[in-house]
Amino acid sequence: MPKTLRLILSLLLLALPTAAQEDFCGVCKNEGYVPCEDKKCRKVVCPTTIDHLCTRRLRLPCCHGLGKVPCKFCDHNHAKFAFGIEMDGRKKWLEDMKALETRFRIKKMEHIQTDHFNLHYDIPKIKVGMKTYDMFKGAHLYAERLEDLYADWTKRFDRPYRSPTTGRWDVYMVRDLKERDRVTQTIIGGNATKLFGTTTSIYVVAAGKRVIRKDEERHANVYHHVSHLITQQGHPIGKFEYPGWWSAGIAHWLEENEFGDTRNFCTGEVSSRRDKWQDGGWKGKMFSRVSRKKDISLATFAKRDVDKLSPMLQAYSWSFVDFILTEHADAAAGLERDLTSSGNTEAAFRKNLGMTVARFQDAWREWVLKAYAR
């Protein structure tokens, strides 16, 4: 065959489309989806970059918040079938959220699902610094803050002993005390004082401006209480009392580390009588107790649950955790796992710190006199 003819045939073969080229969709680049161009969809922009579902976007009829729709010119990756299943799931989630509102007798809530939390939010307006957040923006702000808390917790303790059976913790932020009690009554059949200890994956707080005026106080409240949920998740309730000093210590430590002081206490942790230990300033108070040799041994309250700890004992718990996270940070994850699963402080200390509770107390005293000295 002449060279010229061979060259012409080769060029013709190259010009012919291959099977893959014939199947290529220039519209979706073989993804099967294209961006949703609906005007309403483009207008509803969530004020956060974290992965989440929210009721405002899921109510959009075009794509129910997915942000993309199947390509009209192909069906790569079986996009149309997958899209239908995804839409059914999102519609079901919306129906479930509406059913919650009906059960709570609340007209409207913002519901947001993130990687680790379900946030149910019912506060019309909050002020953060000079900015005012409506319900939509406020809910997204707190969804982001919850994920920040989770990141803060796991940074120090690796991962929770267990995750909730549903895969996420449920946080309800409602506007007043009546709504709070209605929600807790509906969820667990009791009032707010029964909430903690009955289940360790739910927190309900009345956080409207008439109950908590400043947003920093609201934020600190959620930070403190939800850290309890993460710490105690997986505790086999009924088998043994949770070592409350550990959960309380972590909650107070994280709050103090984030906000500069700690003044939040869980329902049932404190009596109605005012106690000076509720007013923060624990470093100075703890230094005073230790320097006068009036400190209390951890062994005397290591087996008490959280609601059996006075504000003073919670201050000790905070200081013990402060010592551990400062001087024995590598042991924190192991302590969390062993204390939550067994409740045995002595065994957990021997295994993870290589010391008894008594020896730990001695080392802690020496550290306090140096670390808390003014």
SS3 of the chain: CCHHHHHHHHHHHHHCCCHHHHHCCCCCCCCCEEECCCHHHHHCCCCCCCCCEEHHHHCCCCCCCCCEEECCCCCHHHHHHHHHHHHHHHHHHHHHHHHHHHHHCCCCCEEEECCCEEEEECCCEEEECCEEEEHHHHHHHHHHHHHHHHHHHHHHHCCCCCCCCCCCEEEEEECCHHHHHHHHHHHHCCCHHHHHHHECCEEEEECCCCCCCCHHHHHHHHHHHHHHHHHHCCCCCCCCCCCHHHHHHHHHHHHHHHHCCCCCCCCCCCCCCCCHHHHCCHHHHHHHHHHCCCCCCHHHCCCCCHHHCCHHHHHHHHHHHHHHHHHCHHHHHHHHHHHHHHCCHHHHHHHHCCCCHHHHHHHHHHHHHHHCCC
Residue 3 lies in a domain: no
**282-291 vs 357-371: helix axis angle to the nearest 10?**
110
Q: Quote the CA–CA distance of 137 and 151 in Å, as a whole number.
A: 21
Structure confidence at residue 241 (pLDDT): 78
Report the pLDDT averaged over residues 227-246.
Answer: 84
User: Over 90: is that where the pLDDT of 115 sits?
Assistant: yes
To the nearest whole percent, how much of the chain has pLDDT over 70?
A: 88
Shared domain check, 294 and 359: yes
Least confident of 79-88, 276-285, 341-350: 276-285
Residue 20 lies in a domain: no
User: Over 60: is that where the pLDDT of 353 sits?
Assistant: yes
User: Over 50: is that where the pLDDT of 15 sits?
Assistant: no
Q: How many CB atoms lie within 10 A of CB 8?
A: 11
How far is the first Cα of the chain from the last one, in angstroms, to the nearest whole number? 98
Structure confidence at residue 196 (pLDDT): 42
Stronger pLDDT, 92 or 374, i.e. the higher one: 92
Least confident of 19-28, 188-197, 239-248, 296-305: 188-197
What are the CA-CA distances from residue 162 to residues 146, 169, 199, 348 (Å)?
18, 11, 13, 18
Structure confidence at residue 97 (pLDDT): 95
Residue 77 lies in a domain: yes
Q: Quote the CA–CA distance of 57 and 44 in Å, as a whole number.
A: 7
Q: Quote the CA–CA distance of 1 and 183 in Å, as a whole number.
A: 87
Structure confidence at residue 192 (pLDDT): 43
Structure confidence at residue 200 (pLDDT): 58
Shared domain check, 246 and 197: no
Residue 113 lies in a domain: yes
pLDDT level of residue 188 (50, 70, 90 thresholds)? confident
Report the pLDDT averaged over residues 138-161.
Answer: 95
Structure confidence at residue 234 (pLDDT): 78
pLDDT level of residue 195 (50, 70, 90 thresholds)? very low
Name the domain boundary from 104, 128, 148: 104
Q: Quote the CA–CA distance of 70 and 25 in Å, as a whole number.
A: 12
Shared domain check, 68 and 49: yes
Shared domain check, 257 and 224: no
Shared domain check, 136 and 95: no
Residue 241 lies in a domain: yes
Report the pLDDT averaged over residues 77-92.
Answer: 94
Name the domain boundary from 44, 70, 104: 104
| Domain count of the fold of the chain | 3
Residue 356 lies in a domain: yes
Residue 198 lies in a domain: yes
Domain that holds residue 173: 107-234
Shared domain check, 369 and 242: yes
User: Over 90: is that where the pLDDT of 193 sits?
Assistant: no
Output the domain CATH number for residue 158. 3.40.30
Residue 14 lies in a domain: no
Q: Is 30 left (phi over 0), alpha (psi -120 to 50) or beta?
A: left
Report the pLDDT averaged over residues 89-116.
Answer: 95
User: Over 80: is that where the pLDDT of 130 sits?
Assistant: yes
Shared domain check, 371 and 256: yes
Using alpha carbons, select from 341, 329, 305, 321 the residue that is nearest to residue 162: 341
User: Over 70: is that where the pLDDT of 176 sits?
Assistant: yes
User: Over 80: is that where the pLDDT of 285 sits?
Assistant: yes
Report the pLDDT averaged over residues 347-363.
Answer: 97
User: Over 90: is that where the pLDDT of 5 sits?
Assistant: no
pLDDT tens digits for range 204-225: 999 998 899 999 999 999 999 9
Q: How many CB atoms lie within 10 A of CB 366?
A: 11
User: Over 90: is that where the pLDDT of 6 sits?
Assistant: no
Q: Quote the CA–CA distance of 252 and 258 in Å, as a whole number.
A: 10
Stronger pLDDT, 2 or 219, i.e. the higher one: 219
Shared domain check, 96 and 122: no
Shared domain check, 275 and 152: no
User: Over 60: is that where the pLDDT of 21 sits?
Assistant: no
To the nearest whole percent, how much of the chain has pLDDT over 90?
A: 72
User: Over 80: is that where the pLDDT of 168 sits?
Assistant: yes
Q: How many CB atoms lie within 10 A of CB 174?
A: 25
User: Over 60: is that where the pLDDT of 198 sits?
Assistant: no
Shared domain check, 315 and 367: yes
Shared domain check, 32 and 91: yes
Shared domain check, 309 and 219: no
Structure confidence at residue 236 (pLDDT): 73
User: Over 60: is that where the pLDDT of 87 sits?
Assistant: yes
Name the domain boundary from 174, 203, 234: 234
